[in-house]
Structures are given as structure tokens and as C-alpha cells.
Amino acid sequence: MTDSAKFGSTAIRQVTLADVAALAGVSSSAVSRTFTPGASVGKKTRAIVLEAAKTLGYRPNAIARTLSTRKSRMIGIVVSYLHNQFYPTVIERLSQMLQLHGYHVLLFISSDTGTGEDGIDALLLDILQYQVDGIVLASTTMSSQLAAHCHAVGIPVVLFNRLAPVEEASTVTSDNLEGGRLAARTLIECGARRIAFVRGLEDSSTTQDREKGLKEELARHRKRLFGHICGEYDFDAAKAATRELFSLAKKPDALFVANDHMAFAVIDALRDMGHEVPRDVQVVGFDNVPQSAWGGYRLTTIEQNSELMARATVSILLEHLETGDATPRQVVTPVQLIRRSTTRPI
């Protein structure tokens, strides 16, 4: 009997794992291991099983595997917004790295306006119904409360690019304090005398630490912060705030902007008002997103190493999930200055 005759009924019924095992001449457990991420199976056996599965049109059932193993191999990523170009880059890196270890990503968009208990409970319920194995909380002011809730139900959490007073959660951040210091040092070296800061969200740890580092370095040079405005990590808000700041009689001659996304808006607003960058106003951003190198901006910026940050995040999650070690870890990755055309030559 030919293989096609033997399995002729597969067109009208679902092909099973046992069917693949029979055609491949291996045990059902060998087929199961072949389609289980991280499971051990020989190269020759894997090739035979995959060929049999291809012949039969077999599709592994991830939902059934979740029920049997009680693991979904899914990681939830929670963000508040994607318009900041840094986060799409990070999500891409996290997804690629997790896939290498047999995990996949589910993306959830939170609303920072819903920071009350009802908003948190609704988001948590939405996440938990997908049986995710772990969660990465990025760019959300809900981080502290969400992390505490997730810990209560036994889901490991990593706060990405955020610090929060939650003892049970691990954190991965860049050295925001040093980034602020670098920005101040660079602008002073380039001759700036009146340095102002364009903040992101007021209650964001990234904003607070970058401003703290900026002020520390200014104080070391016996200078004070000229002023500050809040851009809310939003393009339009940053543009409006810049117009308001430069409508005053006494204006800054340099701006440190809490991220590149706002820095682009700041530069556009300055040009609209007739100010030349960097002749009239020097600008330093933060992130080093790909667009910061574009010819229209050539932005001097403080680089966050998204690859190092993503790698540390995945390492912590895998340690929690595969070894059972839930000890919180705090990782701080280095930053560096990327000098381009929005600051003057030294």
C-alpha cells in the first residue's frame, strides 16, 4: 500500500501526531520533541519527522501543547505608545531574540490615562487570558502597579527602560544619569551658556534621571539649568512647548531633549521660527534612533544600546522561566555620545 493510499483519508480528517510518527517510522514522543521548542532531538530524526509532516500537511497545535505543558511559550510586551521610534526597534529585537529560544511575542497597548485600579485590572485580565509565561513592561507609567499585580499571580516581569519601586520586578535600563551628564558636558564643550531641558513625562523615571544627570554636570561646571519645558514625549506637545519657550525675551542657546522623537519636533519648531541649528541653538537628543542620522536632522544624541538592553531582558526572562530563579535583577547598560551636526565643533 502506498503512503498516499495509506493516508488517503487525511483530506477529510485532521492529521495527527501519531500519523506523522507512523510515516516517519519513529515514536510519537520523538515527533512531539521535534515540535517542542528547546526539546532535545537528533538531527537525523528531526529531518525525517519534518519531511513526514510536510508530506502529510501536519500542523502542530500550539493550543493543545499549552494545555498539556501549561506553558504558552508566549511573552507579553506592554507599551503605551509606538510613535517613539525607539520602541519599534526594541520590540523587533526582543521578538527575534525570544524566537531563537522558542518564545513568541504578544503586544499589548496600554493607556496611561487608565492608571486607576479599574484600568490596571482590565489590562491584566486581558493579558492573563492569553496565558503568557512572562511580561515585559515598557514605556508605561503603569509599570509599578502592573508589576505588583503580575507578581501576585506568579508571572515574571521585567521593567524595560523604566525604574519602579517594586522589589519583585527586574529592571533593564540604560545609564540615564550618565546620559544627562554627557549631554551637559557636550553642550558646555561646544560653547553653550544657557542650557535648557525638554522633559518627557513628568513622572517618568527616564525623564527624572536624565534631568538629574544634566543638573549634576552643570553644577560641576558651576552652571545652573537655564530652564525647562515639558514635551510629554509627544511630537506636537514638544513642538508647541518649544514655540512657547522661544517666545520669551531671554532664550536658551542650547537644548537637551529627553528623547530623539521630541528632538525632531524641537528642531522643526526652531527652524519654523527662523532659528538656525546649531548656529543659534544647539540640540542634543537621547536614544539614537535610526532617523536621527537622516540628512534632514543629523542629530547629536546620547545612544541607548537597544541590542544590549534587549539581550539583558531576554536573559532575565529565560532565567526566571527555565531555572525557576525569581531573584530580581537590575541591569544598567552603558550609553555613549553620537556627535553629528546639531552641535558645534569643539
101-113 mean pLDDT: 81
16-30, 77-91, 300-314, range with the lowest pLDDT = 16-30
Do 187 and 294 belong to one domain?
A: yes
Per-residue pLDDT tens for 176-185?
999 999 999 9
pLDDT score at 4? 46
Per-residue pLDDT tens for 280-319?
999 999 999 999 999 999 999 999 999 999 999 999 999 9
> How crowded is the C-beta side of 174, counted as CA atoms within 13 Å?
28
Give the domain CATH number at 13: 1.10.260.40
Do 264 and 278 belong to one domain?
A: yes
Three-class DSSP labels, the chain: CCHHHHCHHHHCCCCCHHHHHHHHCCCHHHHHHHCCCCCCCCHHHHHHHHHHHHHHCCCCCHHHHHHHHCCCCEEEEEECCCCCCHHHHHHHHHHHHHHHCCCEEEEEECCCCCCCHHHHHHHHHHHHCCCCCEEEEECCCCHHHHHHHHHHCCCCEEEECCCCCCCCCEEEEECHHHHHHHHHHHHHHCCCCCEEEEECCCCCHHHHHHHHHHHHHHHHCCCCCCEEEECCCCHHHHHHHHHHHCCCCCCCCEEEECCHHHHHHHHHHHHHCCCCCCCCCEEEEEECCHHHHCCCCCCEEEEECHHHHHHHHHHHHHHHHHHCCCCCCEEEECEEEECCCCCCCC
pLDDT score at 124? 72
- pLDDT for 96 beyond 80: yes
Residue 251 forms part of a structural domain? yes
Residue 228 forms part of a structural domain? yes
pLDDT tier for residue 70 given thresholds of 50, 70 and 90: low
Do 180 and 297 belong to one domain?
A: yes
Cell triple for 139 = 514605556
Do 203 and 128 belong to one domain?
A: no
pLDDT score at 213? 98
Do 54 and 16 belong to one domain?
A: yes
- pLDDT for 117 beyond 70: no
Do 114 and 234 belong to one domain?
A: no
Give the domain CATH number at 230: 3.40.50.2300
149-153, 175-179, 266-270, range with the lowest pLDDT = 149-153
**Residue among 254, 203, 196, 273 at smallest CA distance from 232:** 203
Residues 210, 258 contacting (CB under 8 angstroms): yes
Do 228 and 152 belong to one domain?
A: no
Residue 24 forms part of a structural domain? yes
Do 102 and 210 belong to one domain?
A: no
Residue 67 forms part of a structural domain? no
Could you list the residue range(s) of the whole structural domain that residue 13 is in?
Answer: 3-60
Q: Which of 60, 81, 106 is where one domain is finished? A: 60
Cell triple for 158 = 521585567
- pLDDT for 71 beyond 50: yes
Exposed, middle or buried, 71 (CB in 10 Å: 0-12/13-18/19+)? middle
pLDDT tier for residue 116 given thresholds of 50, 70 and 90: low
Per-residue pLDDT tens for 206-261?
999 999 999 999 999 999 999 999 999 999 999 999 999 999 999 999 999 999 99
Residue 154 forms part of a structural domain? yes
Q: pLDDT: is 219 or 1 the higher one?
A: 219
Per-residue pLDDT tens for 186-196?
999 999 999 99
Per-residue pLDDT tens for 39-56?
677 888 888 888 888 888
Do 295 and 220 belong to one domain?
A: yes
Average pLDDT, the chain: 86
b/e burial code for range 26-65 (CB count within 10 A of at least 16 → b)? beeebbbbbbbeeeebeeebbebbbebbebbebeeeeeeb
Residue 269 forms part of a structural domain? yes
5-12 mean pLDDT: 46
Do 86 and 135 belong to one domain?
A: yes
Do 165 and 182 belong to one domain?
A: no
Do 157 and 91 belong to one domain?
A: yes
- pLDDT for 10 beyond 50: no
The total number of structural domains in the chain stands at 3
pTM of the model: 0.79
pLDDT score at 5? 46
Q: Which of 38, 60, 82 is where one domain is finished? A: 60
**Residue among 65, 55, 138, 110 at smallest CA distance from 306:** 138
- pLDDT for 12 beyond 90: no
Give percent of the chain with pLDDT exceeding 90.
Answer: 53
Exposed, middle or buried, 235 (CB in 10 Å: 0-12/13-18/19+)? middle
Residue 220 forms part of a structural domain? yes
**Residue among 226, 205, 204, 206 at smallest CA distance from 215:** 226
Q: Which of 60, 83, 98 is where one domain is finished? A: 60
User: How far apart, in whole angstroms, are the C-alpha atoms of residue 180 and residue 177?
Assistant: 5
Residues 175, 312 contacting (CB under 8 angstroms): no
pLDDT tier for residue 9 given thresholds of 50, 70 and 90: very low
pLDDT score at 123? 74
